[in-house]
Structure 1
Amino acid sequence: MPASSPQIINMGCRLNLAEGESIRALLSGRDTIVVNSCAVTNEAVKQTRRAIRRARRERPEAELVVTGCAAQIDPQAFAAMPEVNRVLGNAEKLAPAAWAAADPVRVQNIMAVRETAPHLAASFSTHARAFVEVQNGCEHRCTFCVIPYGRGNSRSVPAGAVIDRIAALAESHAEIVLTGVDLTSYGPDLPGAPSLGQLVERILAHVPRLQRLRLSSLDGVEIDGRLFALLTQEPRLQPHVHLSLQAGDDMVLKRMKRRHSRAQSVALVERLKAARADIAIGADVIAGFPTETEAMFANTLALLDDCDVVHPHIFPYSPREGTPAARMPQVAKEIVKERAARLREAAAARRARWLQSLIGSTQQVLIERPGDRGHAGNFAEVRLPHSRVGEIVTVTIKAVQDGKLIA
């Protein structure tokens, strides 16, 4: 890329991707590398450090700035890296004044941040779909999670600002993804305490041009009747629900300080599938949480089948300093690794069966770069003859190859 172009390296979640595009707009024409870090696991922090070193080797003359959750939580560690010029916190990374300043470390107390402004990119020209942040932060304190200390407490973007932004993006993007740290907690901090379901209703009503709307990770316990009805009845809301399950054993869930039981997760998926048979279920699942016995792990392994998980995100447990789980009796690392591998193997087999079941079906596919691939509404990846990026095409699935549908 040209030396004068900002390079944004987004690690981790879709929220970082959305914010990364806003950063790109702020830095137009600036010879800067921004590493937008992730702190969800120790491995994510290691990957951030590797990305910093690689970026410095590739562009030795550019300014290199580190931001994101890992930078927010431990700014001095990144400021000490010789490759790094500046460190900005999660609030500062979207503030023009912070980018205009010269101080090497600019990170405020994220817990003091009470509002989330509609920091929305001018365009997502490099992406077929656009990501819109509607919520940030988290009020919950799961015992394994460090993210609230990187993102702060929950805060929501007013619906009017969200709708205005989506209306503008819908002119050039067929699909919008709503993102947040704890998306289903949207609204209580706003006047009238609107719910996520109410926000989705308003988006669909006020942006008729929008063809496809997708939601990022949801906490099943917060899916109320209005949101459930939309997920199962609204054709523009895509049939793809990603749930923050984390475990399939009630004692592990209790020790994680999750707010749902195993039975509640299974019942929710059964209700979703009964109301809309083509819904594809994704899930975050942690292997080897502290105190997890083989029997507890077996319950989590069985949950993949019981909840029909076809889009799995499997994480080996990673102790994060300062979290309650890090002080619990730990499972041996080799056992954690082995259990994660077993989960991935079982999840891959279920996914393969699901993909095979789609042969002969008709799917609407959003074409992504370079034009010979895309994702269906159920988020299965599809390979197809070359089409124009950003279009939605209707195809018949002929085969499965290397984990992809072939049209």
Structure 2
Amino acid sequence: MPSAPLPEVVSLGCRLNIAESETIRALVAGRDMVVVNSCAVTNAAVKATRVAIRRARRDRPDAQIVVTGCAAQIDPGAFAAMPEVDRVIGNADKLSPAAWATLAPVVVSDIMQVRETAPHLVASFSSHARAFVEVQNGCDHRCTFCAIPFGRGPSRSVPAGAVVDRIAGLVDAGHREIVLTGVDLTSYGPDLPGAPTLGQLVERILHAVPRLERLRLSSLDGIEIDDRLFALLTTEPRIMPHVHLSLQAGDDMVLKRMKRRHSRAQSVALVQRLKTARPDIAIGADLIAGFPTEDEAMFQNTHALIADCDIVHSHIFPYSPRAGTPAARMPQVEPEIRRRRAAILRETGQAVRAAWLQKLVGTTQHLLVERPGDRGHVGNFAEVLLDAPAAPGDILRITITGVLGERLSATRESL
């Protein structure tokens, strides 16, 4: 007798979605279902969600199609109206067994009323070599371009004890690298008793879980990196030498109109401090091209930031006006100019990255093997192709032998 189809979870967007998708996978086990865990950071992300929904219906015509995530939370009616969609479940509900037990076509609570979050109690991340642990959710800031607070609600933190227990369990299950995730990770703690900081949480994790070999942090707001967290990022060997910063722009007027809390000079100074203290640290950053009112001189300031901050992992987005945000009401840059500027930023980012990858040739690194076993990422998050397959989840000592486009090649020696 043929076995029942397995549920599928399509995760779009951020690492927090990846973490939550594993919980959803456990909640819908045994069902003929495709869950699309959506993203709403840009209009393109919402479009990608619609494409994923239509593909799911085409590939699994008999499965129940459920849409959740930020796009579903922000505009549930639009997704409920799609003929391919059976159900819509909001961000505040998607980790609740009750939401998956009901047959209601739309289950979307008021995300702005949510005040608590909790770690997702799945035993392991079956399809990932590294495990993602949510320690924070939501955002209290109101950057003028961003709709995510309306999809995620107010900032809230997971108590440190629950985080430590979660990580200890994942390490026991065989995960050797943990990634701390959140919508606004560096805002961790003020809503908890004693107002712990992200640095204090990281210290507690490292002390309480000595068997944890590799710890990585997702996107950080540089203005909130205090001395304790800075010291950990630059001196703790179990924290990977990779910092992804939420920079968004390199022009002070654009940053002000974005309602960001840092200046260009502060970003450059932070990166210089990080690289002086830990020369092998790799810098990643998000940058937006064509923000409303951005003229050519403002754009050039952002363009120059890629070299000034040695950004080797650049995430470039053309500005996308999101309904209901203040930036959508500002004087807009023509779409073609946005696209052209984004292309210029990507080209420069690729050139800076290529030079960095070339400098890594001949170095020895430690690599976490990822599926299917012929590749992985080293500590600075450069992707590497191996000369021979290994078991996913292994950590190997490797020598970098060359550059293959956006990746490196390597020979290996097992630890």
Partner in structure 2 of residue 398 of structure 1: 401
Residue of structure 2 equivalent to 1:231:
233
Quote the offset at 1:164 in angstroms: 0.4
Shift of 1:295: 0.2
Q: CA deviation at 1:186?
A: 0.4
Q: Tell me by how many angstroms 1:3 deviates.
A: 4.4
Aligned-partner Cα distance in 1 for 2:38–2:141: 21
- Name the residue aligned to 2:140: 139
**Matching of residues 5-404 of structure 1 within 5 Å:** 5-171=6-172, 172-384=174-386, 385-404=388-407
CA distance in 2, matches of 1:218, 1:68: 21
In 1, Cα distance between equivalents of 2:307 and 2:122: 39
8 A Cα contact 1:137 1:181, kept in partner: yes
Q: What is the CA distance between 1:4 and its match in structure 2?
A: 3.0
Q: In structure 1, how many angstroms separate the alpha carbons of the residues matched to 2:330 and 2:121?
A: 40
Shift of 1:280: 0.1
Per-residue Cα deviation, 1:32-75 (whole angstroms, up to 9, x for no partner): 11000000000000000010000001101111110000000000
SS at match of 1:284: strand
State the Cα RMSD in Å: 0.9
Measured in 1, the distance between the counterparts of 2:119 and 2:402 equals: 42
Q: CA deviation at 1:2?
A: 6.2
AA aligned opposite 2:394: E
Q: State the one-letter code of the partner of 1:389.
A: P
Between the aligned partners of 1:178 and 1:377, the Cα distance in structure 2 is 15
Which segments of 5 or more consecutive residues in structure 2 lack a partner in the other structure? 411-415
**How far apart are 1:121 and its partner, in Å?**
2.1
Quote how far apart the aligned CAs of 1:120 are: 3.3
Describe the superposition over 1:187-232 as per-residue Cα deviations: whole angstroms up to 9, x where unpaired.
Answer: 0000000000000000000001100000000000000000000000
CA–CA distance in 2 between the matches of 1:112 and 1:4? 36
Distance across 2 between alignment mates of 1:120 and 1:37: 21
SS at match of 1:299: helix
Offset from partner CA, 1:332-362 (integer Å, 9 cap, x none): 0110000000000000000000000001111
- The alpha carbon displacement at 1:119 in A equals 2.0
The more displaced of 394-403 and 78-87 is 394-403
For 1:191, the aligned partner's letter is: P
Q: Distance in 1 between matches of 2:214 and 2:268?
A: 27
Distance 1:180 1:242 in 2: 13
What is the CA–CA distance in structure 2 between the aligned matches of 1:37 and 1:71, rounded to whole Å? Answer: 7
Amino acid at match of 2:235: Q
Distance 2:121 2:319 in 1: 33
Residue 123 of structure 1 and its aligned partner are, at CA, apart by 1.2
Distance 1:2 1:342, change over 3 A: farther
CA contact (8 A) 1:18 1:120 kept: no
1:117-142 C-alpha deviation (Å, 9 max, x unpaired): 22232210111000000000000000
Measure, in 1, the Cα distance between the counterparts of 2:249 and 2:228: 26
- Secondary structure (helix, strand or coil) at the match of 1:118 reads coil
Per-residue deviation, 1:368 = 0.5
Kindly indicate whether the alpha-carbon contact (under 8 Å) linking 1:120 and 1:133 is maintained by their aligned counterparts in 2: no
Aligned residues: 407
User: 1:371 Cα shift?
Assistant: 0.8
Identity %: 75
**Structure 2 SS opposite 1:67:** strand
Distance (Å, rounded) in 1 between the aligned partners of 2:155 and 2:285: 22
Q: Give the secondary structure class of the aligned counterpart of 1:170.
A: helix
Encode CA deviations 1:271-298: one digit per residue, 9 max, x unaligned: 0000000000000000000000000000
Q: Normalising by the residue count of structure 2, what TM-score does the alignment of the two structures yield?
A: 0.97
1: distance between equivalents of 2:3 and 2:134?
29
SS of residue matched to 1:349: helix
Q: What amino acid is the match of 1:165?
A: R
Whole-Å separation in 2 of the counterparts to 1:318 and 1:404 = 29
Give CA-to-partner distance per residue, 1:89-135, whole Å, 9 cap, x none: 00110000111011100101100000002223221011100000000
Supply the AA of the counterpart residue of 2:391: R
TM-score, reference length from structure 1: 0.99
Match of 2:94, SS state, is: helix
Q: Distance in 2 between matches of 1:169 and 1:2?
A: 29
Matching residue's letter, 1:322: G
Aligned residues of 1:18 and 1:121 also touching (Cα < 8 A)? no
CA distance in 1, matches of 2:406, 2:270: 27
- Contact residue 284 and residue 312 of structure 1 kept, 8 A: yes
